[in-house]
């Protein structure tokens, strides 16, 4: 029993918890902002820089993950097709070559995972599941169900865990209303709705009511530390880190920026 719980916890933590941070602030074209991830003690573990833009009318999101020193070490590209809740995406970590994502090819979709640069890429057909959420589609899901969450209803949604090539049911609950930066906000809680859910840490999310827009994430993230362990982080998305929209050349340059193999001071 304990072994099964430990295995479930490792695989879910690796592939699910922390993905919600990709949702980050609001879903609209031409945005540019930064989030800062803190570990216990108040040190910055990394920063994530987001660009939201359109390509031929299709919303895209580019995220560049930077070391505390500013060096880019990971990248994610999200294309909000075929549905905003279940987009295609590609994530790669330059430190060890870990890669995962979902892609559409020849009228079909597949999930892929590469555990390191030394291991082969594994793929599998993406099974259809009604109402499922993939990666940054979580933000669109929150927006669509905002009134229910304000009413403190519990919602259950299947969430794709690429590392498991499967969906897991996630429970999202409206917990309490609050005020952050002088603006009304709602505190949400995300947890695993499964037999081993008692062994999994929950994720706490604070959304500003205007938007709604993610203001704070607190829980186990999907960005690992230098030892390869998923770390507990608090990620802040304050208004002061909302930047002016970038021109397309700048976005293309960020998408092509080489990733470092390790963070240095």
237, 47 contact by CB (below 8 A): no
256, 68 contact by CB (below 8 A): no
Residue 263 to residue 265: CA distance in whole angstroms: 7
Partner residues linked to 217 by β-bridges: 205, 235
Residue 206, helix vs strand vs coil = strand
Residue 201 has a pLDDT of 80
Residue 220 to residue 166: CA distance in whole angstroms: 20
Per-residue pLDDT of the chain (265 residues; tens, 9 = 90+): 443 334 344 444 445 554 444 444 444 558 999 999 999 989 999 999 999 999 998 999 999 999 999 999 999 999 999 999 999 999 999 999 999 999 999 889 999 999 999 999 999 999 999 999 999 999 999 999 999 999 988 999 999 999 999 999 999 999 999 999 999 999 999 998 765 555 568 899 999 998 899 999 999 888 988 888 888 999 999 999 999 989 999 999 999 999 999 998 7
Residue 34 to residue 183: CA distance in whole angstroms: 19
Going from N- to C-terminal start, the domains of the chain cover 2-256
Partner residues linked to 196 by β-bridges: none
Residue 47, helix vs strand vs coil = strand
Read off the tokens for 69. Answer: 């020193």
Read off the tokens for 132. Answer: 């499922």
Residue 66 has a pLDDT of 97
134, 86 contact by CB (below 8 A): yes
Residue 46 has a pLDDT of 96
DSSP letter assigned to residue 13: H
Residue 149 has a pLDDT of 94
Residue 151: Cβ within 10 Å count = 8
Read off the tokens for 24. Answer: 């980050």
Task: Please tell me the pTM assigned to this model.
Answer: 0.89
Residue 192 has a pLDDT of 87
Read off the tokens for 143. Answer: 């927006």
| 125 φψ region: left (φ > 0), alpha (ψ -120 to 50), beta (else) | beta
Q: How many CA atoms lie within 13 A of 26 on its CB side?
A: 15
Residue 197 has a pLDDT of 52
241, 33 contact by CB (below 8 A): yes
CA dihedral of 243, 246, 252, 254, whole degrees rounded to 10: -20
Is 55 exposed, middle or buried, given 0-12, 13-18 or 19+ CB atoms closer than 10 A? Answer: exposed
Residue 123: Cβ within 10 Å count = 13
């Amino acid at each position: 029993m304990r072994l099964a719980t430990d295995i479930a916890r490792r695989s879910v933590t690796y592939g699910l918890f922390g993905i919600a941070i990709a949702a980050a602030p609001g879903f609209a074209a031409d945005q540019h902002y930064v989030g800062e991830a803190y570990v216990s003690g108040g040190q910055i573990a990394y920063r994530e820089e987001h660009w939201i833009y359109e390509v031929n009318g299709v919303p895209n999101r580019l995220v560049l993950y930077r070391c505390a020193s500013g060096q880019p070490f990971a990248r994610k590209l999200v294309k909000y097709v075929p549905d905003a809740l279940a987009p295609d995406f590609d994530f790669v970590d330059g430190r060890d070559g870990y890669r995962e994502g979902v892609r559409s090819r020849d009228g079909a979709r597949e999930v892929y995972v590469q555990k390191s640069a030394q291991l082969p890429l594994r793929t599998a057909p993406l099974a259809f599941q009604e109402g499922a959420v993939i990666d940054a589609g979580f933000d669109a899901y929150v927006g669509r169900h905002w009134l229910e969450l304000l009413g403190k209803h519990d919602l259950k949604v299947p969430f794709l865990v690429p590392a498991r090539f499967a969906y897991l049911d996630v429970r999202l609950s409206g917990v309490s209303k609050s005020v952050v930066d002088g603006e009304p906000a709602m505190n949400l809680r995300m947890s695993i709705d499964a037999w081993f859910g008692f062994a999994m840490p929950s994720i706490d999310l604070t959304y500003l009511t205007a938007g709604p827009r993610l203001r704070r994430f607190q829980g186990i993230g999907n960005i690992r530390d230098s030892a390869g362990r998923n770390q507990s982080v608090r990620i802040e998305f304050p208004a002061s880190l909302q930047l002016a929209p970038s021109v397309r050349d700048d976005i293309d340059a960020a998408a092509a920026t080489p990733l470092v193999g390790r963070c240095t001071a």
